[in-house]
Chain A
Amino acid sequence: MSQIFYSKDHEWVAVGADGLATIGITDHAQAALGDIVFVELPEPGRNVAKGEPCAVVESVKAASDVYAPLSGTVAEVNQAIVDEPAKVNAEAEADGWFFKLRLEDPGSLTELMDRAGYDEFLGTLA
């Protein structure tokens, strides 16, 4: 995997060799949500705009939206987290990924934060 980028909505984005951006929620986000019991993912082929709610995670207690960190077209979704939502808690920033986007503008990645920037952002939340 190449460099990983982060959004202020606690999503991570990694662009693979195939040019697709893999998107998931950060470890910080999964810890804040608690035990995840249900995941709803977007339909492949759907066009999503940056900031648009496109997936849902339900913990025991509450539902939370997952936003598209960048604009693009949904190319693939991770059925494994639908079948086993706890995978998001266990492996948020690896096998617990949500969906892959074909980015409308690969240059838009620069609108996101790098790890150091995200860690600094997390520091401002406490």
Chain B
Amino acid sequence: MVEFAGYDMPLQYQGIMAEHLACRTGAALFDVSHMGQAEIAEIEAFSRLVPGDIAGLKPGRQRYTLLLNEAGGVLDDLMVANLGQHVQVVLNASRKEADVAHMRSHGVAVTTRFDRALLALQGPKAVEILPEAATLKFMDAAPVQIGGIDCIVTRSGYTGEDGFEIGCAGFDGEALAELLLARGATPAGLGARDSLRLEAGLCLYGNDIDETTNPVAAGLGFALSKKRLAEGHFLGAAAVQKALAEGAAAVQKALAEGAAENLVGIKLEGRAPARAGAEIRLPGGEAVGRVTSGVFSPTLNAPIALGYVRGDCAKPGTTLELIVRDKPLSGQVTPLPFVPHNYVR
């Protein structure tokens, strides 16, 4: 057990390696109830706060988006699902209280549902375990009854695999987990969740992105809607329009000029991983960046890392040195994801 965002979380059950491979080849079940679920009835008001086209999100569909601050820094990254009557957002545990305060301060009424449970069933066999949700495609969202339990299911996740995220009332969470385990899912902890998301090239808030990160530098340009950028502001209400217009301007500037730093994937030679904080240098000298996440990839049987490097060092194939225990480890900039995504579209 480890402490994570104020929660006691299992780092591993049988072992990170076995749980990781279970997710890549079978189906793994993660308890991610620490994440914050909330509902927002005023879709229009919420959509003005984010750079993604949430107003254009159809009922039954989900999208990844960002909450940005005035400087264009990332306050949080989140999933938004249009459930018809309202949108459901899933917020990072460490950010959920601040996110809700931020949204409310900008006039968006938010109903927190932090007492709800959230389970992630991930892997190529997830759909065999959850046939009730087989009709959903990648990034669909729908209410689904599972073993008599009312759930909100999205076909998405944080592993790069096919799979589902399943929300239900907190008091139903344990029964739902038992049901999915009885159907053959492998319990998996935070350790495998981290190694899986890193192989999939997915950012972890607090490591790879934070309030000082421009989404363009973080490779999150896909979350910025052209329409929303053209509108030039992420909020309609006059009081906040100015502040977030500045945020949009910062993003547009970075798009036009290229970010000073870019988040890249790095595959290391040898077996020693480089962890968050390790300095990145050009071979033999100049410091050009830092590692923000690092892990030993069970799929590739090699260490991998995410890190920010100077824009001119971000090209795939660039050889870099990562400094671990005062020694340089050689690695190459590698296109993300490290392991191909396996979504069912």
Q: Are B17 and A60 in contact, CB atoms less than 8 angstroms apart?
A: yes
Do the beta carbons of A62 and B275 come within 8 Å of each other?
yes
The one of B11, B18, B191, B273 that contacts A37, using a Cβ cutoff of 8 Å: B273
Q: For the complex formed, measure the closest distance between the CB of A36 and the CB atoms of chain B, giving whole angstroms.
A: 9
Query: A34 interface residue, CB < 8 Å from B?
Result: yes
Tell me, yes or no, whether A63 is within 8 Å of chain B by CB: yes
Q: Mark B206-249, 1 if CB is under 8 A from A, else 0.
A: 00000000000000000000000000000000000000000000
For B, the interface residue count at a CB cutoff of 8 angstroms equals 19
Q: Is there a chain A Cβ closer than 8 Å to B114's Cβ?
A: no
Given contacts A60-B295, A60-B298, A61-B195, contact A34 B12 (CB under 8 A): yes
Name A1-48 residues within 8 Å CB distance of B.
Answer: 34-35, 37-38, 40
> What residue in chain B is nearest A89 (Cβ atoms)?
B15
A34-B191, A56-B325 known; A61-B271 Cβ under 8 A: no
Q: CB within 8 A of A38: which of B15, B20, B271? A: B271
Task: Say whether B296 contacts A58, CB under 8 Å.
Answer: yes
A58, B302: Cα distance in complex, Å: 12
In the complex, the answer to whether B16 meets A63 with C-beta atoms within 8 Å is: no
CB <8 Å contact, A40 and B20: no
Chain A interface residue count, CB cutoff 8 Å, equals: 13
Given the complex of chains A and B, what is the CA–CA distance between A58 and B195 in angstroms? 14
Which residue from chain A places its CB closest to the CB of B190 in the assembled complex?
A61
Chain A residues, Cβ within 8 Å of B325: 40, 56
Is the pair A40, B272 in contact by a Cβ cutoff of 8 Å? yes
The yes or no answer to A59 lying at the interface (CB within 8 A) is yes
B21 to chain A, nearest CB (A): 11
Distance of A110 Cα from B275 Cα, bound (Å): 37
Asked if A72 CB lies within 8 Å of chain B CBs, one says no
B195 near A60 (CB under 8 angstroms)? yes
In the complex the two chains form, is B275's CB within 8 Å of A60's CB? no
CB distance from A26 to the nearest CB of B (A): 17
B99 at the interface (CB under 8 A from A): no
Which residues of B277-304 have CB atoms within 8 Å of chain A's CB atoms? Answer: 295-296, 298, 303
Q: Does A96 contact B (CB under 8 A)?
A: no
Neighbouring B residues of A34 by C-beta, 8 Å: 11-12, 15-17, 191
Q: Is A85 an interface residue, CB under 8 A from the partner?
A: yes
- Which residue among B11, B12, B20, B273 has the maximum number of chain A CB atoms within 10 Å of its CB? B273
B residues near A (Cβ < 8 Å) are 11-12, 15-18, 20, 191, 194-195, 271-273, 275, 295-296, 298, 303, 325
Which 10 A-B residue pairs are closest in the complex by CB-CB distance? A35-B17, A37-B296, A60-B16, A38-B271, A61-B191, A38-B272, A60-B296, A34-B16, A35-B15, A58-B273
